[in-house]
Each structure stands twice: as C-alpha cells, then as structure tokens.
Amino acid sequence: MRRLMSVIVVLFFLSSIIFAQNRYVGVKSCAPCHKGEKKGAILEKWEKSKHSKAYQTLLSEASQKIAKEKGLKKPANESLECLECHITAVKVDAKLFEKNFKKEDGVQCEACHGPGSAYKTMAIMKDKKKAIEAGLTYYADEKAIEAQCKTCHNEKSPTYKEFKFKEAWAQIVHKVVK
Ligand code: HEC
Ligand code: HEC
Ligand code: HEC
Ligand code: HEC
C-alpha cells in the first residue's frame, strides 16, 4: 500500500512537470496552418474580433480613466487587475513564453486552447487524442465552453455587460473547412 502511494505521488509529480513545460508559442505560430478561406479563415476571423485588440484597449483614454477611478498605481496596460482578462496567460512564468508570443496580441488562440508548444506539430494536430494529451484544452460540451468564457466575461470586469453565451459564441465561432 505504501509503495503504491509513493508510486502515485511520483507519477503525479512527473506529470505536473510535463504539463508545466508546455510553452506558449503565440498566434503567429498557429497562423500558417489556420489561415485562408480553404482552412476556415480562423486567423482572419480572430484578427477581426475584439479579442485580438484586447491589449490595445487598455491603452485607451477610457481605460486610463477606469484605472484611475479604481485607484490603481500603474496605468491599465501595466496593471494585473486589467491584464488578467485582456491578455493571455498573465500569471505564467516568463520562461514559458516562446519568442513569437506577444502580450500585445491580447486574448489569443492559446487563451482558450492551451499552450501549444507540444501539440502544434502536424502529426499531433491531426490526431485529436494526441493533441489533447499534448496540452490542447478539451471541451466536453457547450457548458464547458461557456465556463471558459466566463473566466473573463464576468462581473469582475469594470465594464461588464450581461454575458449571453449563445450570442457571444455565434459572434466568434470558427470551424475548419473539411
Ligand atoms: C503544422 C500545422 C499546424 C499548426 C502550426 C497548428 N495547427 Fe491546429 N490543426 C492543424 C490541423 C491539420 C488540424 C486538424 C484539422 C482537421 O482536420 O480537423 C488542426 C486542428 C486544430 C484544432 C482542433 C482540434 C480538434 O480536432 O478538435 C485546434 C483547436 C487547433 N488546431 C488549434 C491550434 C492552435 C491554438 C495552434 C497554435 C498554438 C495550432 N493549432 C497550430 C494544423 C496545425
Ligand atoms: C474579469 C475580467 C476583466 C477584467 C479584470 C478587466 N476587464 Fe476589461 N473587459 C473584459 C471583458 C470580458 C470585456 C468585454 C465585454 C464587457 O465589457 O463586459 C471588457 C471590455 C473592456 C473595455 C471596452 C468596453 C467597451 O464598451 O467597449 C474597456 C475600456 C476595458 N475593458 C478596460 C478595462 C480596465 C481598464 C481594466 C482594469 C481596471 C479591465 N478592463 C479589467 C474583461 C475584464
Ligand atoms: C475565446 C476563445 C477562443 C479563441 C481566442 C480561439 N478559439 Fe479556437 N475554439 C474555441 C472553442 C471553444 C472551440 C470549440 C472547441 C471544441 O469544439 O472542442 C474552438 C475550435 C477551434 C478549432 C476547431 C474547429 C472545428 O472545426 O471544430 C480550431 C482549429 C481552432 N479553434 C483554432 C483556433 C486558432 C488558430 C485561434 C487563434 C487564431 C483560436 N482558435 C482562437 C475557442 C477559442
Ligand atoms: C482571457 C479572457 C477572455 C476569455 C477566456 C474570453 N474572452 Fe471574450 N473578451 C475578452 C475581452 C477582454 C474582451 C473585450 C476586448 C476589447 O473590447 O478590447 C472580449 C470581447 C468579446 C466579444 C466582443 C464583445 C463586444 O462587446 O463586442 C465577444 C463576442 C466575446 N468576447 C466572446 C467570447 C466567447 C464566446 C468566449 C468563450 C468561448 C470568450 N469571449 C472568452 C476576454 C475574454
């Protein structure tokens, strides 16, 4: 029993190291395979969405005003209180960002799909099961998707508007053309 417990502890430890090593590669690294009409124009759709501009929004006058009213010591675009929802993976160790990753790209692919360093190769991407094992976020159903959206679309947002999942998802839904 004791031995079994220590095996479990070691496995748990190892798996947490493996997961921790998945690095964020940035939208530029996903783009080559997910752009163009023939592939569903996923990149283009994201570029047109507000998610791609979420960091720029923090540079606006409106944002500086909100930051001031909240008594933040730094400008909005340097405050964790704003960045946590306006960029990707804000609380992640800087070592886990590859060179193509730019915080200026706002709410990018990996905010919803997980860090891509291990799943982004063609061989793994083509096999959903392998991709998930390599760190691609798995969504069991629409409820799971909605829960992900609500990690940011919630009342902690100073400009919060009621989040209507079905309408919001319809605005940003993207599909691979087969
Ligand atoms: C080398 C090319 C390549 C790169 C780079 C790439 N992908 Fe993919 N991706 C694919 C292919 C091919 C598929 C499978 C499409 C299909 O036939 O369903 C896929 C599928 C996916 C899927 C759907 C998985 C499923 O089966 O439900 C997601 C989500 C995804 N990619 C996200 C990303 C993200 C995020 C990045 C960047 C971190 C990325 N991809 C980088 C080629 C790539
Ligand atoms: C809990 C997540 C969250 C936090 C924290 C957050 N935001 Fe946002 N922000 C959002 C979301 C989601 C939207 C878009 C929908 C909405 O307004 O509810 C948004 C939209 C905005 C907009 C655009 C509003 C519009 O009407 O177009 C501004 C400006 C903004 N945020 C500034 C800030 C500033 C400044 C901070 C820090 C003081 C901040 N946000 C913190 C999630 C967040
Ligand atoms: C705001 C969250 C979010 C962002 C940002 C996002 N995605 Fe997705 N994406 C999703 C969700 C949710 C699904 C559906 C997941 C599922 O069906 O398992 C999805 C599905 C996909 C699929 C599979 C489509 C299909 O045919 O089933 C691909 C490929 C994909 N995304 C690639 C990308 C790429 C590339 C980017 C960045 C340019 C991106 N996504 C940005 C949330 C997002
Ligand atoms: C990492 C945080 C984050 C996640 C996760 C997220 N969003 Fe957002 N979303 C934002 C922010 C921030 C904005 C506002 C960007 C701006 O205006 O600068 C936004 C804006 C939007 C908008 C545009 C709203 C408008 O007023 O025009 C839609 C639609 C949207 N998100 C849908 C979704 C959906 C659907 C999901 C889940 C699949 C999702 N978002 C997940 C942060 C997030």
Mean pLDDT of the region 112-119? 98
CA of 11 to the centre of ligand 4 (A): 36
Ligand nearest 73 Cα, by number?
Answer: 2
The Cα 104–Cα 52 span in angstroms is 8
pLDDT digits (tens, 9 = 90+) for 45-71: 999 999 999 999 999 999 999 999 999
The closest-lying atom of ligand 1 relative to the alpha carbon of residue 128 is 26
Q: What pLDDT score was predicted for residue 16?
A: 53
pLDDT digits (tens, 9 = 90+) for 3-20: 766 666 555 555 555 555
The token pair at 14 is 């190892």
Give ligand 2 pocket residues (Cβ under 6 A): 57-58, 60, 62-63, 66-67, 70, 76, 79, 81-82, 84-86, 152-154, 156-161
Q: Closest Cα to atom 15, ligand 4: which residue?
A: 54
- pLDDT tier at 178, thresholds 50, 70, 90: confident
Whats the size of the chain, residue-wise? Answer: 178
CA of 46 to the centre of ligand 4 (A): 11
The Cα 132–Cα 118 span in angstroms is 10
Euclidean distance between the first and final Cα of the chain, in Å? 51
Q: What pLDDT score was predicted for residue 53?
A: 98
Q: Provide the sign of the torsion angle of the four alpha carbons 87, 88, 90, 95, taken in this order.
A: negative
Q: pTM for this structure?
A: 0.94
Residue of 44, 41, 62 whose CA lies nearest to 52 = 44
